[in-house]
Amino acid sequence: MVSPPFPGQAVSASRTRAVVESFRRALNTGDPQHLLDVLAPQVVLLSDGGGVKRAALHPVVGARKIVRFYSGGTAKVEGRLTSDPTVVNGNPAFFMRLNGEIEGVMALRVEDARIAGLYFVRSPEKLTHLGSETPLTLR
């Protein structure tokens, strides 16, 4: 097991997958109680719209505030919002799609078997490379 980059108890890979899947189901259904159950009480959400897309200007701290933020944001969306699992910088993440088109990427930090950090990038400029993979080669 690898130590987490932030304080807290490390979580096994299988438990991390279960927490991430539970969070994905909560996002896709929009169930506020399910979201509260999977978020750590002092979870932090950082978002980046690049000045082009709507995003929180300051960190959103606390599970209840994040659920209100998410519920309020999705209520204004016309269309279907879904999340598809991916990996960003070695961490679990989701492609957030609106009507099938990438709306953003949300990276997660899992700690003590709950979601402790959310990093949501919506800035179009920072998402341009998502259509391709960057191959890693040894020199």
Average of per-residue pLDDT values in the chain = 83
Asked, for residue 7, whether it belongs to a domain, the answer is no
Spatial neighbors of 56 by CB under 8 A, at least 6 apart, are: 45, 46, 47, 69
In a domain, 117, yes or no: yes
Question: Are the C-beta atoms of 91 and 109 separated by less than 8 Å?
Answer: yes
Residue carrying structure tokens 């701290």: 61
Cβ distance 108 to 16 under 8 Å? no
The alpha carbon dihedral of 119, 62, 20, 102 has a sign of negative
Instruction: Answer whether residue 33 is part of any domain.
Output: yes
Structural domains of the chain, count:
1
For the chain, give the number of residues. 139
Q: In this structure, is residue 73 part of a structural domain?
A: yes
Q: Is residue 21 part of a domain?
A: yes
- The domain of 67 spans 13-127
Q: Look at 73 and 100; give whichever has higher pLDDT.
A: 100
In a domain, 102, yes or no: yes
CATH code at position 77: 3.10.450.50
Q: Is the pTM here over 0.85, yes or no?
A: no
Residue 6 has pLDDT above 70, yes or no: no
